């Protein structure tokens, strides 16, 4: 035990802070620590508020992304519906024009005199030579016409 006492000329053994009695100098240190703790708490609260705001923004962005993806999926049907909405008036107008056209044709048919009946078709044997006949028999009607013109004394027109 005698060895525990400091010897003259040797520095004293440091006493742990928790065992030391408060001195007048330590009061400003406690105030500084409390002040730093308050500032850190305020910064922590501000950071928490920023975190909450960021989380809300993220959730809002995710909802908007989901809405946009749904819109992209629905886009073909939207375009088709818009196309039919714009096409319908044109189809209606086309139908009205077709009805007007039909009415005008009926009116013209009633007001105009009937057209003369078409001439009967030429007999088959006059237009073409019969199969198996030669080219001489094909020109017989033309020769007969030439002979008639020659008898009259006028050249064929």
pLDDT digit string (tens) for 95-109?
999 999 999 989 888
pLDDT band at residue 124 under the 50/70/90 scheme: low
The pLDDT score that the predictor gives to residue 135 is 63
pLDDT digit string (tens) for 29-80?
888 899 999 999 999 999 999 999 999 999 999 999 999 999 999 999 999 9
Q: Kindly report the pTM of this predicted structure.
A: 0.36
Domains in the chain, number: 1
What residues make up the domain containing 35?
A: 27-113
Q: How far apart are CA 31 and CA 47, in angstroms?
A: 24
Q: Is residue 60 part of a domain?
A: yes
């Amino acid at each position: 035990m005698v060895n525990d006492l400091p010897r003259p000329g040797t520095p004293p053994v440091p006493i742990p802070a928790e065992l030391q009695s408060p001195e007048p100098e330590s009061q400003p240190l406690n105030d500084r620590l409390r002040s730093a703790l308050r500032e850190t708490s305020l910064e922590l609260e501000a950071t928490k508020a920023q975190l909450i705001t960021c989380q809300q923004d993220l959730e809002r962005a995710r909802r908007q992304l989901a809405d946009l993806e749904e819109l992209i999926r629905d886009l073909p049907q939207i375009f088709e519906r818009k196309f039919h909405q714009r096409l319908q008036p044109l189809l209606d107008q086309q139908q009205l024009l077709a009805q007007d056209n039909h009415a005008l044709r009926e009116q013209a048919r009633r007001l105009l005199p009937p057209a003369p009946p078409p001439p009967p078709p030429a007999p088959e044997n006059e237009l073409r030579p019969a199969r198996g006949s030669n080219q001489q028999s094909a020109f017989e009607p033309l020769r007969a016409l030439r002979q008639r013109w020659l008898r009259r004394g006028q050249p064929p027109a």
